[in-house]
Amino acid sequence: MNVLITGISGRIGANLAKAFLDAGHAVRGLVWSGDRRPKKFEALDVELLDGDLADAASVGRAVDGMDVVCHLGAAFQGGGPFGEEDYFRTNVRGTFNVLEAARQNADRLKHLFFASTDAAYRKYVPGGMPHPIREDTMPMLPVGWYPLSKQLGEDMCLGYYRAYDLPVTVFRFSMTVAGDEIFSYPQFYLRYWLQAYETKTGQAAERVYRQLQRLRQEGQEQLLIARDSTGRSYKKHIADVRDIAAAFTAALVKPQVIGEVFQLGGPGPFTWEEAIPYMAGKLGLDYVDLRLDDQVPTFYEFDLDKSVRLFGYHPQYDIFKMIDSAVRARQGQEPDVIPTYM
């Protein structure tokens, strides 16, 4: 099949292109001219088209002749800087343009995937999330223009499914890493928490700040097992880029996924008390263990049962495999992953 990927130069887009090519499909990518990173595609047989999601004509050219559209392109929090107008122009109008172009090609189109985000959940709450997050029961409560634009995109996609019978599926991505990016997550490091508590006021926060200063080893990088005010380890649910790419190929043209929303993530959540000692050993770093009072904790996980039931989603990369893969990536020995920075 002929597959279009908007946002093909991103971490997920590039690895998704590789997954589709490996499965025998032809791949076209719509690339914003200011964001092209061509080294990613030197070894891939992909057709690249310059264009702008906010320009209906260029989107129409990209969608023409495609059997599958994977709409990943967006202004996002990690890029930019972007303002409200950028988010509206690229994410909202851009999605409208993709849907209209798909509607014009409805006689050929077999599947349209829309990339959304877990950033629209209010998952950082006092005490942490008491139950796993389910996509059909957890309300979307976006704060800020990026998650708001993604919720608007979801609503448009599902509206086009209902009104025009477009074969739409929405994937909400968890935080996704490629290459050695897992080692860059700020909350793993003592220095992050020193900065976070430096400006906090109140007895509890000031006590934590003094403890962090005492634990710090001047001139040396340190990891930190973060715990909440009850002593419970922080918990998070993320994904490896290869598992996200595998979700698309697993769900492709399956009638039971049309008109549905799916949360994607790794095989399960991880805790800091599991991940930090393992990471420290791999990186040769010291780590400390501290209760972070006066702080909303990171403590959530996703229930992926719907994805498992409806299209056989079985992610493979837990936190330990992600760390092992990141080590190999730093050594230049992970050819199966296209890194973000290329």
Radius of gyration of the CA atoms of the chain, in A: 21
Contact predicate 298/129, CB 8 Å:
no
* Confidence at 46, pLDDT banded by 50, 70, 90: very high
In a domain, 30, yes or no: yes
**3-state secondary structure at position 170:** strand
Q: Other C-beta atoms within 10 Å of 186: how many?
A: 10
Section 291-306 average pLDDT: 98
Tokens of 175: 């935080």
pLDDT digits (tens, 9 = 90+) for 156-178: 999 999 999 999 999 999 999 99
What CATH number does the domain containing 253 carry? Answer: 3.40.50.720
Q: Is 238 within 8 Å of 176 (Cβ atoms)? A: yes
Number of domains in the chain: 1
pLDDT in tens, 301-334: 999 999 999 999 999 999 999 999 999 999 999 8
User: Which phi and psi angles does 19 have, rounded to 5°?
Assistant: -65, -45
pLDDT at 258 over 70: yes
Maximal C-alpha separation, the chain: 66
| pLDDT reported for residue 77 | 63
Average pLDDT, stretch 73-92?
Answer: 83
- Residues facing residue 121 across a β-bridge: 140
Least confident of 23-27, 215-219, 256-260, 334-338: 334-338
Identify whether 189 is part of a domain.
no
Residue 9 domain-assigned? yes
By residue range, what is the domain housing residue 144?
Answer: 2-179+237-266+302-316
- Residue 217 tokens, joined: 């080893």
- Whether the pLDDT of residue 262 is over 50: the answer is yes
- Residue 204: pLDDT over 80: yes
| CB environment 79-96: b (16+ within 10 A), e (fewer) | eeebeeebbbbbbbbbbb
Considering the domain boundaries, does residue 291 fall inside one? no
Q: Are 87 and 73 in contact (CB under 8 A)?
A: no
Task: Name the band, by pLDDT with cuts 50, 70 and 90, for residue 342.
Answer: very low
User: Looking at the domain assignment, is residue 220 inside a domain?
Assistant: no
In a domain, 340, yes or no: no
Tell me the average pLDDT across 196-217. 96
Tell me how crowded residue 338 is: count the other CB atoms within 10 A of its CB.
25
Would residue 194 count as lying in a domain? no
pLDDT band at 34 (very low <50, low <70, confident <90, very high): low
* CB proximity list for 85: less than 8 A, separation 6 or greater: none
CB 59 within 8 A of CB 7: no
- Residue 339 has a pLDDT of 74
